[in-house]
Amino acid sequence: MGEHSDSDEPFFERVQAVVAQIPAGRVTTYGDIAAHLGRRGAARIVGWALKDAVGSGLPCHRVVNRDGVLTGKQHFETPHVMEERLRSEGVTFVGDDQVDLDAHRWRPDAAEPNTQDDDNSP
């Protein structure tokens, strides 16, 4: 167990598309992403998708567990990189390896779709 199947690949791509939308200075949870994609209870699979994407340029450091804990930190270059990146974006912490979710939580369902250019052309 712990492996993912090829059938998860389209889901992984959808996870990565959501993660790409998380604004700097905000965080979301594995569960928020899973629920947004219609797979409530699939937080662990979201984690697998992000493990595969660390180092790809996606802001994977902005995804935390349901308590705001940096459970994915071991997948970065060093265990401190995730926290350093979040702090550099202005994210505050309430404990060791725990972000202030009340202050910084971003929910994908509340996000405005970014499908149009901002040039206001007809």
Taking residue 88's Cβ as centre, other Cβ atoms within 10 Å add up to 11
Catalytic residue among 19, 60, 70, 99: 60
84: Cα within 13 Å, side-chain hemisphere: 6
Name the 3-class secondary structure at 32. Answer: helix
Per the annotation, the verdict on 59 as an active-site residue is no
> Which residues have a Cβ under 8 Å from the Cβ of 29 and sit 6 or more positions away?
43, 63, 64, 65, 66, 68, 101, 105
Q: Residues with catalytic annotation?
A: 60
